[in-house]
Chain A
């Protein structure tokens, strides 16, 4: 019974993860700005990778599943950190945000 439930859960998680990974790539190609591209890709990629790895961990042996869970937690910690570092480096280097939604919080954000 548990194998039946875990197989259905794995299929659902796998389809969701593939959907999120594909949507992140669409955001990377279509969006107009460095910061919007970071916003789209890192969140979708973290979610999609986590879903696919959990779906694989439900079907693997115990040691392999433990390693897959370790990879999942590592990606959940490091992927937003890397996005933050890239965004800060892009801001300091002087890449301007797109003017349509421009609201600068670091440089004079108090008076709008």
Chain B
């Protein structure tokens, strides 16, 4: 039982590090990407991964109010993506 708990704690910490490395690869695509849709895709993926990282940090450190920040960040990433895509499509935010 205690072995499994320590395995899960280590899995949370190393999972946060793995997702952070993945975020840096996504940032490379956001810099390189040949057009605006590739960059918006990379930003969408980065925002989703950031939500997961914040939720992981909330359980690693035991700060339960970090989960509220994760809720707000999920909303913000979706609104930003849809706003940029609509601006790309119509030339204005209508």
Contact = CB atoms under 8 A, between A and B. Distances in A.
Interface of A: 3-4, 7-8, 10-11, 14-15, 17-18, 21-22, 24-25, 28-29, 34, 37-38, 41-42, 45-46, 48-49, 52-53, 56, 59-61, 63-64, 67-68, 70-71, 74-75, 78-79, 81-83, 85-90, 92-93, 95
Contacts of A64: 58-59, 64, 67
18 contacts: A3-B1, A7-B1, A14-B15, A28-B45, A29-B28, A37-B38, A45-B45, A46-B48, A48-B52, A52-B52, A52-B55, A52-B56, A53-B55, A61-B64, A64-B67, A68-B55, A68-B67, A74-B75
B19 A67 contact: no
B22 A34 contact: no
A90 B35 CA distance: 9
Interface string B39-57: 0111011001101100110
A89 B89 contact: yes
A25 B22 contact: yes
Contacts of B55: 52-53, 56, 68, 71
Given A61-B64, A79-B44, A85 B35 contact: no
B9 to A, nearest CB: 10
B19 A34 contact: no
A75 B71 CA distance: 10
Contacts of A3: 1
Contacts, number: 150
B24 to A, nearest CB: 10
A60 B37 contact: no
B38 A45 contact: no
Given A34-B37, A67-B71, A70-B71, A45 B49 contact: yes
B26 A15 contact: no
Given A64-B59, A78-B78, 5 more contacts: A21-B19, A29-B25, A85-B85, A86-B37, A90-B36
